[in-house]
Structure 1
Amino acid sequence: MSHHWSALLLGIVTGAAGLAAPAAAAPTPTAVTRAALDPALVAGRGANVPFLEQEAEKAATNGTVIGPDRTAYTLPAEASGRSAVTLDPGEWVEFTLPRAANAITVRYSIPDAPEGGGITAPLSVTTRHGTRTMTLTSQYSWLYNQYPFTNDPRADLLHPDWWITECACVPAAIEPKPVITKPFRPAHFYDEQRLLLGHTVRAGDRVRLTARDVPTTIDLLDSELAGAPKIDLSGVNVLLFGADPTGRRDSAPAIEKAIAYAKRAHRGVYLPPGVFQVNRHILVDDVTITGAGNWYTIIKGRAVALGEPAPDGSVHTGAGFYGRDAADGGSRNVHLSGFAIQGDVRERIDTDQVNAIGGAMSDSSVDGLHIQHTKVGLWFDGPMSNTRITNNVIVDQIADGLNFHTGVVNSVVRGNFVRNTGDDALAMWSEKTADSGNVFDRNTVQSPTLANGIAIYGGHDTTVSNNLIADPVREGSALHAGTRFGAEPFTGHLRFTGNTTVRAGTYELNWRIGLGAIWMYALEGSIGADVQVTGDHYLDSTYNAIMLVAEWGVKDLYSIDGVTFKDIRVDGTGTSVLSARAGGSASFENVDARNVGAVGVNNCGRFRFTPEGSEFALTDRGGNDGGWLGPYVPNVITCDDRPPVVAPPAPSRW
């Protein structure tokens, strides 16, 4: 149907303005989803957030629905649910709200500048109360090329001496030089913008988004009823020390003075409503800092180039709250809550400490923050212990959402919502010193554009439970455990319990195969810890639900042994339930599967294809419905390196 006739028909239904026509019956709200799924499919899993998610492709529009498509480097692939709506100037998408709201978040993409660096463009937001303008930007999106990426769409290969899958070659080593299409590997297309409406829109009212100057892709709308700003009369108010709530002057010195006074007076620090300019790290130790709520108190920074590199290698600084370095004893008793941190990070420089929260913080908490446009939302360098990261919203990061790095113990990451990270959304990296006793529970992860939703690199006694992970885009998947990046070995236990993944399992460019929704990778050592996967649901997996793999060069040295899978549901795979590409073993009990696209078990073992069977052994402990396992135990070779992908039907109630 053409845009003209779509608009005409919608105009008949909604009235010429699309908002004012009387309705014979209460309007039907645009479908509410969680990770673009029926919420009933993910009940009890993921973060308990105050907003409702509505996908643009399920809303009324005279624009063009794009997708679904899971091909990396495309707009649909990075959209929630792998689909969105593109609006030409003058076109609109309209959401009917399911409940009252006074605040919205729009996830969108607009074009980059021809030379990179981004543009700004208006978006009209219309409700029954009138029209407001939201200013969109692509200054924090659009990365290109090879890791660690560039903002320049015209750039030649950053590493011509690297293997390039597109030409199956090392470009610097051959003549004539291969032609690489520019822009090369565009990615990280989306950004978010929040808006307090200034009034309450009632349940059943409509919110219309209209593109004005440039083509605008709308992925989704989040709406919520934000409460009144919180007032803390007992806290030391930073305004008394000269902080500027208009954001025009640098407020870092005033905030630091308030912190010093509060510590002497044994009181907390209060950040009232306002925008406070902070362009460097504020050191925190033994202090409580509370805002008026993350819709109302905003710490906003700009990137500052350093005159010379800092001792840690940083060449920039920016807005952030940092504990002391672990080498200096770290910080303790730090409690941060109820404000937003908006950075100004537009490129990935791995040596830069331009994270929203950093350093080492023991016996501490970070709760209810909204973190955007920093490199990593929270990067902790231990040793440190007993820290709780709860109920935060972490979006639009250049790299990770959160990383427990080196000797972080007995800490909890719970109830956080993480969307659009440029690397692992939530990670634990036991480099040099093992992390231990940590829990990642009831978090929601959506659309990491690179790497994994939740990744565990070594360590011991780790639990990953009740999380919801959706739409990883490339070079990773939803759940991951790997002996990689110099991590200490896995010891003790590793538990994956009660998680749900959806549309996970990306295409690995170098291997040219699809990963699993959960995948375990033996690269620098065997995985021999007590690994138990219980109660997970793997929905609409692009390739495999489960992958156990060793790097080809070490496949005869390292194995993945004794992994147990129990009470698992697999609803839809493009290929297999299990792909085993390593030596080792696993057992399965009550693993039910349906809508499997290829052979239930793709067992390649160590690729020796011995007369005795595969080097990866399977144990059937009973109750494995769907017929996917029975013919393939204990170690039947069924190796099909790249089976055809059969897209499964949409997940449904079990």
Structure 2
Amino acid sequence: MSRSIIEVTARRATRPARWAAAGTALALTLLVAGGAGTAYAATKTQHGPAPVVTRAGLDPSLVTGRGAAVDFLEQEAENARTNGTVIGPDRAAYTLPSEASGRRAVKLTPGQYVEFTLPRTANAITVRYSIPDAPNGGGITAPLHVTVNGGSKKTMTLTSQYAWLYNQYPFTNDPNADLLHPDWWITECACVPAATTPAPTISKPFRPMHFYDEQRLLLGQTYRAGDRVRLSVPPGSNAAWTVIDLLDSQLVAPPRVRLIAANVLAFGADPTGRRDSAAAFDKAIAFAKLTHLKVYVPPGTYQVNRHIIVDDVTIEGAGNWYTIIKGREVALDPPAPDGSVHTGVGFYGRDASAGGSDNVHLSGFAIEGDVRERIDTDQVNGIGGAMSNSTIDGLHIRHTKVGLWFDGPMTNVRVTNNVIVDQIADALNFHIGVTNSVVSNNFVRNTGDDGLAMWSETTSNANNTFDHNTVQTPTLANGIAIYGGRDNTVSNNLVADPIREGSGIHAGSRFGAEAFTGHLRITNNTVVRAGTYELNWNIGLGAIWIYALDKSIEADIQVVGDHYLDSTYNAIMMVSEWSVKDLYSISGVRFKDIRVDGTGTSVLSARVAGSASFENVDARNIGAVGINNCGSFHFTPAGSEFSVTDLGGNDGGGTTGPWLAAWELPNTITCDDRPPVVVPPAPAPW
């Protein structure tokens, strides 16, 4: 979500030790998944072992029924044939492997390759990669050759123009910039520079991040399972190195044709992308509304450099591989009334203050923006405004600021089956009074802030559901975050590899959000390789963390059926910021039927006053004491200010014995402020 200021604490901080955990080293398997809940047998090929197919870098059997059911198969580069170098694992922010799926990738120099064996029939691939920035920022381009079975060569032109951010929030593209906020707390030097004489020197580039991008390629024909896709860096490439993280392969259906429709070509749209087509889209929409037709956008690339305002209209593309609506970012002089200093491609409902839009249905096309820096006042999102009684389905959105940012009040929007990647900020945010809405079966990767968020600023979001989504590698903040609100649900999602200052699933009383009221249900989610290092606090977070900053959290919060796998630090954290630790608490959270497989430190870290209950929480491979109970750090003779209730069936533990030992109840102080990390083994079937 957008942040006007990083929340910091004036606690003593030291430079964090580099996480050098063994990654999830997946054994070669003959079972590969074809989407959530689908599996089939693969056989050894004449060129070597069967391809290793993963979901979020895991054996698919560990996440069955959770996350988005997608039509592509993921193959990690570290499991493929290569003459390059496997990098990682590493979970320290600001490193290439830390931002890679599964925390490992393959680094190629000119002349080297990585080769994938197709696990099933495919005619299209997506490559997630990183190449260096230009010395002074702004990115470079470099070729990558693609061949199948040694046949004819296709060339992808890779770019780092949409990657490589530096410095402090909201970041810069300039690797040589001085501190953006020299008065902010800097953990690397354990000081507030403006109050220190002499001011410390920060090495440059400072905090490089957001390294990866991805590209899609239609192969031109259909290939069979067992065929070999080789990605090679040609000699003489101007990229000193190319990192390949993964390859997704799929069989893309033919373009969808709609004959009876308001075809944008009839209104002057240019499918070659040479001329701006925004006015043609406006004319097609107006005609469709008069004639009660749908708008159809045939295959092609259409240049659109501003918002298309939509209300009471259906717009369909031929499929998001074929219909691409692409725009450049345009500077505004003077700025817009909402504070935007740029505009760009996007489909926007009317502002809620003007009544919003209704009955909008968008499907089957791609939106490709040109956003290369984060300016929080800019409205340069793929989808925006307010849209009630509307659907967003089957879009592919990349290189915008936020994929979908809804400013309510609005109700009954369905966001389904979309792919949202390579965002500067969130993938989706329900902001202000969004109600009775569903976000389901969406795939999110490489966001610069929360993957999916509900932010109840000024007006509560209510009765919304985030269900069966996959969120991978948010480079800042959380996979899924709920900021206040009433009667919302987070269910059946898969979240993997958050990088910094956030974690997998988060419920937070912060950013001026309305209080949590009614209930919050967090059920049957899987979170893997989460529990990140919190930069400002110099401690590890939980895979799920609940945070009372602006006010106490007293709603009915139930966490049921979640799995927390290979957590870098804690599985669960309840926390308040140091300056308000005596003001706010978190009370009555219920955890039931939870599996914790591997933590670097504890199952529960309690750093707040309040209480929680636990029932049928099974844990194994726990690195530190099961409950790290610091309460609000007063350490009274009566015990911790945070009480733990054992409702039975809480089994297992780790290196220090049972995780919920009898002597820890109900509020025994077991506080180790920064326990050492013990690297757990890779997750395995329960």
Runs of 4+ in structure 1 over 6 Å off: none
> How far apart are the structure 1 equivalents of 2:195 and 2:671?
33
Corresponding position of 2:146? 125
Question: SS where residue 591 of structure 2 aligns?
Answer: strand
> How far apart are the structure 2 equivalents of 1:402 and 1:89?
37
Corresponding position of 1:145? 167
1:189 aligns with 2:221: no
> How far apart are the structure 2 equivalents of 1:328 and 1:635?
53
Gap runs ≥5 in structure 1: 1-22
Question: SS where residue 240 of structure 1 aligns?
Answer: helix
Once the two structures are superposed, residues 248-278 of structure 1 have per-residue CA deviations (whole angstroms, 9 ceiling, x without a partner) of: 0001100110000000000110010000000
> How far apart are the structure 2 equivalents of 1:196 and 1:256?
30
1:618 aligns with 2:644: yes
> How far apart are the structure 2 equivalents of 1:346 and 1:374?
8
> How far apart are the structure 1 equivalents of 2:661 and 2:297?
61
Corresponding position of 2:108? 87
1:634 aligns with 2:666: yes
1:104 aligns with 2:132: no
Query: 1:344 aligned to 347, 355, 370, which one?
Result: 370
1:308 aligns with 2:334: yes
> How far apart are the structure 2 equivalents of 1:609 and 1:407?
40
Question: SS where residue 258 of structure 1 aligns?
Answer: helix
What is the Cα deviation at residue 137 of structure 1?
Answer: 0.1
Query: How do 1:556-635 and structure 2 match up within 5 A?
Result: 556-626=582-652, 627-631=658-662, 632-635=664-667
Corresponding position of 1:246? 272
Which stretch has the larger CA shift, 624-633 or 459-468?
A: 624-633
> How far apart are the structure 1 equivalents of 2:259 and 2:592?
52
Letter in 2 for 1:171: P
> How far apart are the structure 2 equivalents of 1:201 and 1:182?
46
Question: SS where residue 338 of structure 2 aligns?
Answer: coil
Query: How do 1:161-180 and structure 2 match up within 5 A?
Result: 161-180=183-202
> How far apart are the structure 2 equivalents of 1:332 and 1:406?
17
Letter in 2 for 1:153: P
Which stretch has the larger CA shift, 378-387 or 120-129?
A: 120-129
Corresponding position of 2:134? 113
The share of aligned pairs that are identical, in percent, is 77
Query: How do 1:124-523 and structure 2 match up within 5 A?
Result: 124-128=145-149, 129-212=151-234, 213=237, 214=239, 215-523=241-549
> How far apart are the structure 2 equivalents of 1:557 and 1:153?
40
Question: SS where residue 91 of structure 2 aligns?
Answer: coil
What is the Cα deviation at residue 24 of structure 1?
Answer: 8.1
Once the two structures are superposed, residues 161-204 of structure 1 have per-residue CA deviations (whole angstroms, 9 ceiling, x without a partner) of: 21111112222232222110000000000000100111112100
Letter in 2 for 1:169: C
Letter in 2 for 1:72: A
Corresponding position of 2:9? none
Letter in 2 for 1:637: I
Once the two structures are superposed, residues 580-604 of structure 1 have per-residue CA deviations (whole angstroms, 9 ceiling, x without a partner) of: 0111111000000000000000000
> How far apart are the structure 2 equivalents of 1:182 and 1:476?
24
> How far apart are the structure 1 equivalents of 2:320 and 2:327?
15
Question: SS where residue 185 of structure 1 aligns?
Answer: coil
Letter in 2 for 1:135: T
> How far apart are the structure 2 equivalents of 1:582 and 1:234?
61
> How far apart are the structure 2 equivalents of 1:29 and 1:350?
46
> How far apart are the structure 1 equivalents of 2:676 and 2:54?
30
Once the two structures are superposed, residues 36-76 of structure 1 have per-residue CA deviations (whole angstroms, 9 ceiling, x without a partner) of: 00000000000000000000001010000000000000000
> How far apart are the structure 1 equivalents of 2:457 and 2:196?
37
> How far apart are the structure 2 equivalents of 1:394 and 1:468?
15
Corresponding position of 1:531? 557
> How far apart are the structure 2 equivalents of 1:369 and 1:179?
45
Letter in 2 for 1:467: N
Letter in 2 for 1:89: P
> How far apart are the structure 1 equivalents of 2:257 and 2:118?
29
> How far apart are the structure 2 equivalents of 1:204 and 1:30?
8
Q: Is the 8 A contact 1:29 1:95 kept in 2?
A: no
Question: SS where residue 202 of structure 2 aligns?
Answer: coil
Corresponding position of 1:4? none
Once the two structures are superposed, residues 107-132 of structure 1 have per-residue CA deviations (whole angstroms, 9 ceiling, x without a partner) of: 00000000000000000001134211
Q: Is the 8 A contact 2:443 2:469 kept in 1?
A: yes
What is the Cα deviation at residue 307 of structure 1?
Answer: 1.7
Q: Is the 8 A contact 1:29 1:97 kept in 2?
A: no
Corresponding position of 1:46? 67
Corresponding position of 1:19? none
Letter in 1 for 2:263: N
Query: 1:76 aligned to 97, 103, 114, which one?
Result: 97
What is the Cα deviation at residue 25 of structure 1?
Answer: 4.1
Corresponding position of 2:35? none
> How far apart are the structure 2 equivalents of 1:444 and 1:613?
40
What is the Cα deviation at residue 27 of structure 1?
Answer: 4.8
- Give the number of aligned pairs: 632
Query: 2:55 aligned to 34, 41, 53, which one?
Result: 34
> How far apart are the structure 2 equivalents of 1:66 and 1:173?
39
Distance 1:456 1:24, change over 3 A: closer
Q: Is the 8 A contact 2:45 2:226 kept in 1?
A: no
Question: SS where residue 41 of structure 1 aligns?
Answer: helix
Question: SS where residue 249 of structure 1 aligns?
Answer: coil
TM-score (norm 2): 0.91
Question: SS where residue 275 of structure 2 aligns?
Answer: strand
Question: SS where residue 314 of structure 2 aligns?
Answer: strand
> How far apart are the structure 1 equivalents of 2:651 and 2:612?
17
Corresponding position of 1:15? none
> How far apart are the structure 1 equivalents of 2:479 and 2:46?
42
Q: Is the 8 A contact 1:291 1:337 kept in 2?
A: yes
Gap runs ≥5 in structure 2: 1-43, 653-657
Letter in 2 for 1:33: T
What is the Cα deviation at residue 492 of structure 1?
Answer: 0.2
Distance 1:298 1:211, change over 3 A: same
Distance 1:239 1:607, change over 3 A: same
Q: Is the 8 A contact 1:105 1:195 kept in 2?
A: yes
> How far apart are the structure 2 equivalents of 1:139 and 1:235?
37
> How far apart are the structure 1 equivalents of 2:583 and 2:340?
38
> How far apart are the structure 1 equivalents of 2:117 and 2:45?
15
Corresponding position of 1:555? 581
